[in-house]
Structure 1
Amino acid sequence: MLSNAFGYTKAQAAETTNVQELVSSRTSADILAKWKQYQPMSTASNYMDGDYIYDNKPSFSPGSYQAGKLKEIYVEDAIRATNFVRYLAGLPDDVTADWSLSDQEQMASILNAMNGGLSHYPPQPAQMSDSLFKLGYKGASSSNLSAGRPTLYSTVLFGYMSDRSASNIDRVGHRRWILNPPMKKTMFGMALLPESRYGSYSAMYAFNKDRNPNDVQYDYVSWPSAGYFPNEVFAVDDPWSIGLQPNRYDANRTSDIQVTLKRERDGRVWNLDKSSTDKEGDYFNVDTGGYGIPLTIIFRPKGIESFASNDAFQVTVTGVYTKDGQPTTISYKTTFFDMVPAISTVTQLIKLNVGESFTIPIQFEHSKDEKQQLTYTSTNPNILSIDQQGVVTALREGEGTIQISGFFNSYADVRFSVSTSNGTDRPSAWALEDYTFAKSKGLVSLEYDERYQSAMDRYGFAQAAVGLIEQLQGTPIPTKESPFTDTKSEVAIKAYYSGIMKGNALSQFTPTMSITRQEAAVLLMNIYNKLNKSAASAISGPAKTLFKDDAAIASWAKASVYQAAQLELLKGNDEGTFLPKGQLTREQTFAMLAKLYKLISE
């Protein structure tokens, strides 16, 4: 393995690659690991600022044109994209940069920038020397070309590999050049010209065939591939393509070819053949042009609104003939999956005091991998500062938002309200650590993040408890019709149907009513028993020591009080009394839920 100064690695392919064996044997975890190896430099959509992407800036001035030179890190970014899509297709992912073509690809990009459009055969701009024009013309006529995309990485993944426009769908030529088995080297150019029609113009050398054809064995190369395939790199309106091994299949007998696509979850079927000619809908074509693998079947079904995670499609191709005239069928299954989990936060509105720091709690949908790369941005940097570990600091009074972005347009926002502390409204010293933990888990909502020694009401307890349950069980609590006559609150409904809190005899939730300490013990054990199936064994046996006011504890609460005490979720006072009818305070609520969170998590 080779690595550069930035820690990225270049994969070395085996001497011989068998496409069908590779795609059928790998798992979604294998693809995720490869993605982490080949992911782009940044989660941001535009990180290729003209002031930073060049070692030497190009010149667009008539009479003094210069090719310039991209920094190695930006070219390697595009190389990673190239190798990632080749890996997905089952091809060797060891393509490297051919720096001898740097000037050629730069001039191809500059030619198109100066002409304000894309052409493989561009005219010569005024006052451009013949030598530079010929160099750029050679590059333009042997490269994939693109305009308007912010990065080379996105150009490869979502420009060339998509090829869904009406002018490209009939041949998907950009895609086929990238998935050409013999490719072993390529090179990129980029011309950023903000005042031009598209702003950015790029080129990718396409004609390399340095690899020995015998090093890649395949019956077909498909996009999306057979086996597992990530949702993030294939849109529902992208065309599917299957490049057939030219040494095996007859490129002259294609009129009978048709494709049947069947979605497994609902049995829906699409039949596509030469009568499917709608470039905006159902489409089918067989192209035998000279783009990478010459014999390629292209099809796109209409009416797929989205790919669900683990959405499987059976692809069946009939009407194909081998070189010796035998009819044959090609069949495989593609299973889409969510490669990069969606970002979410456990809370969307947080209160901070000036000078207070807070680490934003992040969750990744369907994933426990906490090593996802994220970018944090403050929309009000004079009010909130943020570092790239997610630690936000309140600088002055006001409101602001922290935007969190991940790959593939995954994002979340957290709003903050910043005020100046009066110096007295703060959690007690004994509760501070647990309060901070509860806040980091989103259990302290904005309206209850004050007056910490005041009574906690039933709505506030339910809100924090529901958040704790949903986080620890990893799924939302389902909602139904409200059983209460005094509230339609989703929080109250979830607390009821999860078995945590009930209403009174009049079917009222009484959201503003305070909670006693013995009631809190019952509620705590309801949560504990719901989340911990081994609760009985964990808290079995009589209490070793009775509270001095044991007689004052209601019979319906006594078992829960001693169970909660045994688990160290609730304590008595220094005199050994429990005070069962004392009001539960906000800071006591946060402290005991923090302890319960830690206990269940461990």
Structure 2
Amino acid sequence: MHQEPDILSRRQWVVPAAMLVGNLLCAATQLYFSNSSEAVETPPPAIEQRRSTLEVVPPADEPPDTAESPQPPIAAAPADQRSLAELNAGLNALIDEDRNLSSTGIELERQRALLRLRMYRYLCRLPQADLTLNPQLNDDALAAAAICRRLGKLSHAPENPGIPDAEFQRARGAASKCNLSFGRGNLTKAIDFWMDDSDPRNFSRLGHRRWCLNPQMLKLGVGRDDDFCAMWAFDKSRPLAHEYEFISFPPPGYVPVDMFGPAYAWSITLNPGKYIAPELKNITVELFPIRDGQADREHPLEVENLTVDRHGFGVNNCVIFRPKSLDVRPLQSYQLELHGLQTIDGKPTSVQFAVRFVEAMVPATPE
């Protein structure tokens, strides 16, 4: 079986020059290396404007002041690497579930959307096997989609289009707790769209994606009215028993090329119980192509639109950026290094992992 090169454990340290002492003459020399880059928050480039929106929730509390003095990074423990055979087996099991669905109509569409969301969560090492559709939340999502259709626009705070007040209040409340989209065609494509979430309007927060990857999600609801789709996404009923360092998309390890795109934003959401909320001015992101099992540090990819979002879209503390000239093809591999972080007890640390793109696994979405 092919083994992914273990590049996460290799570190390079600056070693002081040896001090030479003589009986008649004493001399000491030291050599310092420095390599720093200032993260500049710039607006996302103009790309195709997709029709979606997401309500902004109140920001998280500000973290304690970070230390000013530079310190060497301490590599964070990487997630356990999953073999390609294990990844394929897990995704194939979910594909088989899809093939064996016996529902029809909108219920079949809902079940397929749930399975697609479970695939993304499986890829990202998040709980997914017990994720369920809740009938009441399905109805709420449908109410949110329906009021958007009546208004002819997406809104998390819709006005009354002329329906009875009780119906309006339910739809308005549901819309404030849903991912919304228009023009996707079906709910499965809406899940893919929310996981992309990289259009200019959503890039700086990636709120749809982060709700999809909320580790505390246990139940959800989805609904569609014509071309308007909604997913009730604000559930946090799962006990916090799932241990994680960070939630990354793309995640460490193998990633099928049909589940990530070259123009997608990269996101790394740090566990607030293990990391102090990062400061944009303190962090740097480097992405290196891997060639012959080694990170090619002579040719890093240019990183743009680096930002930090602390809003509570599932989990706060999210680092967001986009690499230029990313090649998302099978056998293309990259090493990601995020520096300038602090553990919850104030120790300097970093996150480092490798991503390797592999052949597509997920079948084409039915029309």
Three-state SS of the structure 2 residue aligned to 1:297 is strand
Per-residue CA distance 1:53-112 (angstroms, 9 max, x = gap): 3xxxxxxxxxxxxxxxx42x2221111111111111110112101112232111100011
Higher relative contact order (CA closer than 8 Å, sequence separation 6+): 2
Q: State the secondary structure of the residue aligned to 1:83.
A: helix
| Contact 1:243/1:294 (<8 A) preserved | yes
**In structure 2, distance between residues paired with 1:252 and 1:26:** 28
Provide the residue aligned with 2:145 in structure 1. Answer: 109
User: What letter matches 2:306 in structure 1?
Assistant: F
- Return the letter of the residue paired with 2:235: N
Quick check: 1:82–1:95 contact (8 Å CA) kept in 2?
no
Matched, 1:26 2:82: yes
Q: CA deviation at 1:120?
A: 0.7
SS in 2 for 1:269: coil
Number of the residue aligned with 1:125: 161
Out of 65, 69, 91, which is 1:35 matched to? 91
The whole-number CA distance in structure 2 between the counterparts of 1:322 and 1:241 is: 19
Moved over 4 A (4+): none
Q: Counterparts in 2 of 1:90-101, with a 5 A limit?
A: 90-93=125-128, 94-101=130-137
Equivalence for 1:297: 319
Contact 1:81 1:153 in 2 (8 A): yes
Question: How many equivalent pairs are there?
Answer: 280
**1:219/1:252 Cα in 2 relative to 1: closer, same or farther (>3 Å)?**
closer
Letter in 2 for 1:176: R
Provide the C-alpha distance between the structure 2 equivalents of 1:252 and 1:323, rounded to a whole number of angstroms: 11
The 8 Å contact of residues 241 and 298 in structure 1, kept in 2 or not, is answered as: yes
Shift of 1:220: 0.6
> Equivalences for 1:48-447 in 2 at 5 Å?
53=105, 70-71=106-107, 73-93=108-128, 94-126=130-162, 128-157=163-192, 159-192=193-226, 200-213=227-240, 215-251=241-277, 253-265=279-291, 267=296, 268-270=299-301, 272=303, 282-304=304-326, 306-340=327-361, 407=364
Tell me if the contact between 1:24 and 1:227 (Cα under 8 Å) persists in the aligned partners. Answer: no
Deviations 1:28-62 (A, max 9, x none): 232222223333958xxxxx9xxx73xxxxxxxxx
Distance 1:109 1:335, change over 3 A: same
CA contact (8 A) 1:259 1:271 kept: no
TM normalised by structure 2 equals 0.72
CA contact (8 A) 2:278 2:317 kept: no
CA distance in 2, matches of 1:302, 1:250: 28
Matches within 5 A, 1:452-601: none
Partner of residue 32, structure 2: none
Secondary structure of the 1:25 match is: coil
Q: What's the C-alpha RMSD, in Å, of the aligned pairs?
A: 2.2
Amino acid corresponding to residue 227 of structure 1 in structure 2:
G
Cα distance in 2 between the residues matched to 1:335 and 1:300: 17
1:149 & 1:41 partners in 2: Cα distance? 20
Change (3 A) 1:86 1:202: same
Which structure 1 residue ranges, 5 or more long, are not aligned? 1-19, 43-47, 54-69, 193-199, 273-281, 342-405, 410-602
Task: Output one character per residue of 1:451-481: Cα deviation in whole Å (capped at 9) or x when no partner.
Answer: xxxxxxxxxxxxxxxxxxxxxxxxxxxxxxx
Q: CA deviation at 1:252?
A: 5.9
SS at match of 1:340: coil
Name the SS for the 2:356 alignment partner.
strand
Letter in 2 for 1:309: P
1:219 and 1:271 map into 2 onto residues whose CA distance is 26
How much does 1:310 deviate?
1.7
| Partner secondary structure for residue 270 of structure 1 | coil
Normalised TM-score (structure 1):
0.44
CA contact (8 A) 1:286 1:296 kept: yes
Which deviates more from structure 2 when the two are superposed, residues 260-269 or residues 204-213?
260-269
Q: Is the 8 A contact 1:246 1:295 kept in 2?
A: yes
2:346 & 2:335 partners in 1: Cα distance? 26
